[in-house]
Structures are given as C-alpha cells and as structure tokens.
Structure 1
Amino acid sequence: MDFLISAGDLAAAPVPPVLLDVRYKMGGPPGLGEYAKGHIPGARYVDLDAELASPPGAAGRHPLPDAEEFGAAMRRAGVSADSDVVVYDDWNGWGPARAWWLLRWAGHHRVKVLDGGLGAWRAAGHPLSTEEPPPGEGDFTPRPGGMPVLDAAGAAALARSGLLLDARAGERYRGEVEPIDPVAGHIPGAVNAPTTENVTAEGTFLPAQALAARFSALGAAPGTEVGVYCGSGVSAAQEVLALAEAGITAALYPGSWSEWTASGLPVETGPGPV
C-alpha cells in the first residue's frame, strides 16, 4: 500500500508537504524539548497528549480528541483539506501513527508516515532546523467516520468472531507485568502481536509482503474481521498502519486496555491463543 514515505522521497518532494513532528514516548516527557533541539525544516510540533487525545478518564488514558478541538490543532499546524501531510517521530512510530489514524478517521486521507522517522532522515544526510515556523493557517474541518472504530463490547465480540490483536509487549499481554494500568492481562480471546515485530532494527516498517505473512500467521485470513487494541489506543494505531501496509483493514479500539480494566470487564492471563 502507500501509507509510508521514505526520507529520500520526502526530501525530493516537488511541493513540500505539511510536516508534523509527533514525538511521544510512553511515560516520558512531551517531545517539545527534543523538537526544539532539531527537527525537519518546516515541521511543526504536535503534542499527542494535548492535541491528539482528550483528557484521561473513564474512556481510557488517551480517548479520542473532540473533533472540533482536533480540527483546530490541525489548522494551527497548517493542515488544509487539500494538503499533503507527512508525520514523523524519533522513536517507534507510535506518535505519528496516532496522527495518521486520526487524520484519516477525521476525513483527511492525504497523510503518510515517514518510514524510519527522524533517524532515517538523519541517516540519509538531510539537515535539521531549530527554527520554529509560525502557526499555520489551515482550513481542515474534521468529518469523523473515516476509519473503523471499536468500543469495549465490539472488541469483546470481535475476539470471539474474528481476530482481535493486542499490540502490547508479550509480558504485558501475558499478565506478568503491568507498569501503567491497574490490572494485568489481556482481553479474553485476543491474540498478542507486539508492535516491535512490525519494524526492523533500524525502525523502518517491514516490507508489505513480510507484514502480510506475519499477520496471516496470527490469523488474519481473507475475509477475517480484524481489530487492534493496546494500552491506550496509541501503539495500536501503529499496528493498524502495519496492517494497512499489508492490505488488511483493521478497526481500532481507542479505549484499549486502560478503558477495559477501568470498566471492570473480564481479564485473561497467560499465553493465550498464540
């Protein structure tokens, strides 16, 4: 599919896209400080916690943002209805995948993730900048509904009738550790598929054929309905992106484990189906 862009293709783009720097690390400080030290020229920083999510609560640690507030954040970042948008980070693709998913959910489909992120940009010898562009003047208006979404009941049903993937690390899925949420384990019937296995050691996504083989081995057969969750709906977006690259449409459960456990729903531990 065509949801990624290489550093070389980005640098050679005849018309520069709108660039969004979405640096985010689970449990870490906001990425604004790293952005200030150096970013792709022309990029504007987008705060995942403040602009790509609503405040944490019963709906999880990163509920979907209010559509109007998300639209305002994207307009400040320079996004218009006809903009080509490229999103990136310097970690594992979680932050930019969240922005990619949200933009597509909100009706903007001309968005790609920089494959390999800032590391690939640097490795190719391209420059960084410390100059912060002024606020943008985009005209993007969200129209939610562009991507499939699951709620808790839908996730539970899909774990029985289709394929529900848990994108977290294996030890969290099995319930051996839980560093963030109050209960360890996974949604009954879910299959573990850590996001780390979607990318190479250099941080680029596996080729589409390799991703297709990975998800096929996990049960994503033709015609199978697929959904994904994680801790709070962020890393799961990276898995939805990997599935899309493999030609598989998947629904996202935004509330994910943080909402599931806060609701007191059934929990399973151990190795599960795989």
Structure 2
Amino acid sequence: MLVVDSLTKSFGDHTVLRGVDLHLDKGEVVALIGPSGGGKSTLLRCINQLELPTSGQVTLDGTPLVSTRGGAVVAPSAKALLRVRRQIGMVFQSFNLFANMTAEQNIVFAQRAALGTGKDEARERARTLLERVGMGHKAGSHPSQLSGGQQQRVAIARSLALDPRVILFDEPTSAIDPEMRSEVLSVMRELAEAGMTMLVSTHEMGFAKQVSDRTVFLCDGGILEEGPSRSLLEQPTHDRTRQFLRAIAEG
C-alpha cells in the first residue's frame, strides 16, 4: 500500500537518511525503533512531505507522491501537497494543536481547511471522533486546559477526521507524563484492531511487541534489521539492535 524506495535526505553535508526501503501493507502496523538522531522523525516527515527528500520515491497504492523533474526531486505543488496530507495523516510528539481553538474547533478547522467540509457536518464528525477517543466531555476545552495525554488524543481525532489511508505517529507518547501514556496507547491499540494502517516511531517496546505486526530498526539513517515484532524484539540478530534494546530495558 505504502512503499518507500531508496529514500535519502541530506541537510547540507549531513546525510540523515541513506537509501531507505520500506513498505506497509494495508491494515499493517509497523513499529519504527532506533536511537535518537537515527532518522526516524526525518523519515516520517519525508513520507508526509513535511520535508522534501533529496532523492528516492514514496508511492501510495501505486501513485508516486514525490515529484521529480529530470531525475531531481522538486517541491510539490500546493494541490499535490494537499492530496498527500489528506491520505497520510500525522500525529506529532508535540501535539501541534491550535492554542486559541477548543478541541472541537481544532478538528472542525482541519476538515474545513483540507476537505472543504460544511461547518455543521464538520462539527458533527468532530464530536463523533472526540467520543471515539474518549474526549467527548472535553470538546469545549482549550489545549491549555488539557493534559498531555488528552491533547494527544485530540490530535489523533484530528488526524482521523481527514479519513487518511495511513497514519504516521512520531513518538506520540514521548512528551506525555508516564501515567497518561496508557490513554494514548489504548486509542492507538483500538485503531490497530480496527484495521488502520500505521507507521509508529516509538520507544514503547511493549506496544511494539503487542500491537505492531512488524518492527523496523533504523540507525544512522539506514534500516539495519526488520521482521515480525515479537521475534525481532526478543531475538534480534544484529549486534546494534541488541545493544539498543538492552539500553532501553536498563533505562
């Protein structure tokens, strides 16, 4: 469904991604793990076109999402960018909610801006999605009145409002108090059970083992190892993967 082919990304002389190849099947949940600075966030941002890849291709259902001209990657048009954002949702570690809008207004705005949805329809869908993520009682609250876990659940509802084919999660629990993480992980688990295709950058090894179908270990801009989650997390074959998992367990 989603294919990343030979994706590279450089910032000046610093290469962050080195020819990454990755695929997601429809309904599959893939955990993306690895040390900080290894390229996980950059990979997600390149897939969603928040960063322009240096080279390579991203394809969704056979349709290329990265524009090229004469072999070089070029910035997508506003129309092409909007198409990508409609199909590939993204949930950030820092929530990225509009502080001057209520939870409901954040979700209404996303629909009206990206889909042109009518105000009443957008409001009804926002309320339905807030109920789905257990936030219906906070529809009128502003982000400053919500905990980190509550803000992240609103952010997930906002992403769902666009009916994406795939949702990318960039360390969705890293900015949340440990006691609140279970709220967000529970919502993500329910999405996985409902068949949502998800690529999740995470340090939550329990979630990766229990919920994801496959785990990918990304380090120094390249994929060193991937495979069924339980097998990779319990019996990794690469020394660097073992070192990383040991550090996570001891931390």
Q: Output the TM-score relative to the length of structure 2.
A: 0.26
Larger RCO (CA under 8 A, 6+ residues apart):
2
Q: Which has the larger helix fraction? A: 2
Tell me the TM-score normalised to structure 1 length: 0.25
